[in-house]
Structure 1
């Protein structure tokens, strides 16, 4: 199962990146995350390749992901593997001029169990990814309008 959401944001890529690359701040702008804890060793405020990020989402147990790809200002991906399921999420910011950008959010579940869970939970995954994207867009555009 793989789901990708693309959206255009009327805010500078830097503004969007600063929000996205601060998972500890996510509970302040998206209802899909109620708590987040980041543990180094990343280079940017303790966030980067090798960082462990524990997310608590509504109705779910805390889940820890490890950042396995990090391109400052542009992209990060985190993943986890448990009980035959590999989950990963990619977060990409692409500038489109001085004050616009595209955001691409991708979530996937792989492996034999992942395929089954993906079919069962596809609707929930889509809603959560879409809500995260819409919340990010709203916060970034509001932040850009105030500066």
Structure 2
């Protein structure tokens, strides 16, 4: 994975390590391939994901991913449409999308979902959201806490789904 430019290199898209939300790291008693299959089965997100209840994409690099998110900022408030673009796709290891820096909405971000195999029948999962550029720290301070809750809830739901499928319950 290519390192993002620093803020000194790029004030619009630069990376600030203080502006990153990181989910809890979850150990999953299922192979990485099972977790990957669930993460890439976008039509079924509404069956298990408490944060992203709809996702549509070809998952090709650069392709849009259209999502419907539950608004965790308002304690389960209305849903929110979200459009980002696939920027990382490494089977059984990494699924990423990003929001570009736009003149009318200068709040770029990148989400990485990481799967680490820990054995033939187990893996570890976590998710990050890096808020990029000069505005990133402000977005992080506002949204970081509720995004962490959403990512933690999603990680636990992913664990339950994967273990249910791997154990024969799915």
Does TM, normalized by the shorter one, top 0.5?
Answer: yes
* 1:138 pairs with 2:149: no
Equivalent residue runs for 1:90-129 within 5 Å: 90-129=112-151
- Give the Cα–Cα distance (whole angstroms) in 1 for the partners of residues 41 and 168 of structure 2: 20
Equivalent in 50, 56, 61 of residue 62 of structure 2: 50
Question: Which SS does the other structure have where 1:54 is aligned?
Answer: strand
Question: Which SS does the other structure have where 1:24 is aligned?
Answer: helix
Q: Alignment RMSD, CA only?
A: 1.5
Query: What TM-score does the superposition give when structure 1 sets the normalisation length?
Result: 0.87
Instruction: Give 1:60 deviation, angstroms.
Output: 4.2
User: Do 1:84 and 1:112's aligned partners in 2 also have CA atoms closer than 8 Å?
Assistant: no
User: Do 1:90 and 1:105's aligned partners in 2 also have CA atoms closer than 8 Å?
Assistant: yes
Structure 1: state its 5+ residue gaps: 39-45
- Segments of 4+ moved more than 3 angstroms: none
- Give the Cα–Cα distance (whole angstroms) in 1 for the partners of residues 43 and 62 of structure 2: 16
User: Do 2:42 and 2:54's aligned partners in 1 also have CA atoms closer than 8 Å?
Assistant: no
* 1:69 pairs with 2:81: no
Give the count of matched residue pairs. Answer: 140
Query: What TM-score does the superposition give when structure 2 sets the normalisation length?
Result: 0.76
Structure 2: state its 5+ residue gaps: 1-18, 71-77
Larger Rg: 2
Query: Going by fraction, where is helix more abundant, 1 or 2?
Result: 1
